[in-house]
């Protein structure tokens, strides 16, 4: 056997690494980032604040001040704390490690965020996917049957879902949380909450097994990599045991604390993107051979329904026009011929629309 075969677990060797494409020189509409930069005066003040950070010292490990500001700004119920992560990805990894008892399973609807399954497999957990209905709503009977069969340690419900963009029915989610009961935790992943304006955060006291997870990435701070989750004190105490020490660096901490003094700026940007989402969806829906799905996130899922074009050809034509979107058509059968497009500024949305129309036309008229 080779060195790799001797030391690397077979299930890891079978996986492909998470791929992030190069984007220099492209209109970047593939990663659900906020396209708006901070106003110049805030950028200058942030620079001064960061210059005063003691980078020669480790962070204060409790992060008490940052947690207090996050809780106050984002409606964490009284008596509920936070665990912080280097983005939601690290929080998902921490949940997997904490819950990786022999034979434990992770359950989530599909299509969904790929890191739920990847992180489960990294930790040696079995992943169980339950297909959504063709309209991307939860198949509640199938979910309840899977819960009864597998008794998952972790069940993920993204609210809204990625890559479909829709909000699952809240009553269905509550039924699922009750069905899981004390055999596992249910994670409401609210990464896109600023654009959905719907949340399970206030429901935490009603469900002892509920974890609400969020990130500041989609709010406009993707570069500082900060995620947070709230749950009962007893659950958080266990999750804290697997959190790497000093996992939030001092620059992230200082930048986040500064921006939490200016949340209205971020809220205004989110409001602009919600407005642009509606305009972009309307413009796309008016194009022949294009289906646009309802979205409560900062992206749109579109399906190419033209007989003469498909998601692969349109995606390639967009790349040739230096526009980068996400081709999700091969992620799951329900996503056949689908592209996911980040909602951006009016200027970038117009560039995308022009490129998209041209790509549709060029692929439709290309010789067979």
Residue 365 is predicted with a pLDDT of 53
Q: Provide the whole-model pTM.
A: 0.93
Average pLDDT (268-289) is 97
* DSSP bridge pairs for 341: 300
Residue 355 has pLDDT above 90, yes or no: yes
- Placement of tokens 């980032």 in the chain: 33
Residue 213 is predicted with a pLDDT of 98
Best CATH choice for the domain 56-262 from the list 3.40.640.10, 3.40.50.10420, 3.60.20.10, 3.30.70.20? 3.40.640.10
Residue 228 has pLDDT above 80, yes or no: yes
Q: Which of 327, 331, 317 is nearest to 361 (CA)?
A: 317
Residue 364 is predicted with a pLDDT of 61
Kindly report which listed range (25-29, 132-136, 172-176, 274-278) carries the lowest average pLDDT score.
Answer: 25-29
pLDDT band at residue 16 under the 50/70/90 scheme: confident
Residue 367 has pLDDT above 80, yes or no: no
Average pLDDT (323-335) is 95
Residue 57 is predicted with a pLDDT of 94
Read off the pLDDT of residues 27-66 as tens digits, 9 standing for 90 and up. 999 999 999 999 999 999 999 999 999 999 999 888 999 9
* Domain 3-38+264-365, CATH: 3.90.1150.10
Residue 1 is predicted with a pLDDT of 72
Q: What residue segments make up the domains of the chain, in order of their start?
A: 3-38+264-365, 56-262
Average pLDDT (210-221) is 91
Read off the pLDDT of residues 242-271 as tens digits, 9 standing for 90 and up. 999 999 999 999 999 999 999 999 999 999
Average per-residue pLDDT for the chain: 94
Residue 368 is predicted with a pLDDT of 42
């Amino acid at each position: 056997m080779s060195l790799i075969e001797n030391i690397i677990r077979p299930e890891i060797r079978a996986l492909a690494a998470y791929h992030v494409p190069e984007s220099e020189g492209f209109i970047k509409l593939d990663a659900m980032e906020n396209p708006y930069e901070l106003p110049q005066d805030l950028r200058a003040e942030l620079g001064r604040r960061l210059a005063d950070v003691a980078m020669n010292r480790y962070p204060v490990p409790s992060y008490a001040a940052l947690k207090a500001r996050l809780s106050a700004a984002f409606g964490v119920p009284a008596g509920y704390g936070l665990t912080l992560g280097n983005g939601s990805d690290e929080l998902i990894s921490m949940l997997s490690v904490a819950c990786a008892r022999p034979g434990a399973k992770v359950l989530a609807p599909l299509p969904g965020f790929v890191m739920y399954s990847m992180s489960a497999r990294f930790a040696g957990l079995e992943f169980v996917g339950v297909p959504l209905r063709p309209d991307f709503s939860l198949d509640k009977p199938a979910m309840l049957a899977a819960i009864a069969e597998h008794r998952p340690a972790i069940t993920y419900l993204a609210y809204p879902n990625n890559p479909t963009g829709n909000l699952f029915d809240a009553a269905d989610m509550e039924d699922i949380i009750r069905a899981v009961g004390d055999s596992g935790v249910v994670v409401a992943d609210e990464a896109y909450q600023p654009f959905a304006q719907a949340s399970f955060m206030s429901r935490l006291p009603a469900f002892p097994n509920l974890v609400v997870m969020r990130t500041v990435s989609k709010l406009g701070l993707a570069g500082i990599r900060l995620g947070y989750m709230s749950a009962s004190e007893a659950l958080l105490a266990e999750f804290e045991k697997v959190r790497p020490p000093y996992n939030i660096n001092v620059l992230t901490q200082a930048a986040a604390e500064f921006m939490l003094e200016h949340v209205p700026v971020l809220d205004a940007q989110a409001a602009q993107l919600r407005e642009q989402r509606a305009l972009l969806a309307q413009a796309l829906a008016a194009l022949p051979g294009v289906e646009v799905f309802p979205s409560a996130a900062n992206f749109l899922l579109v399906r190419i329904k033209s007989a003469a074009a498909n998601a692969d050809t349109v995606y390639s034509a967009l790349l040739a026009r230096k526009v980068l979107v996400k081709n999700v058509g091969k992620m799951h059968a329900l996503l056949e011929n689908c592209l996911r497009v980040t909602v951006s500024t009016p200027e970038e949305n117009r560039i995308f629309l022009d490129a998209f129309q041209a790509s549709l036309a060029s692929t439709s008229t290309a010789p067979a």
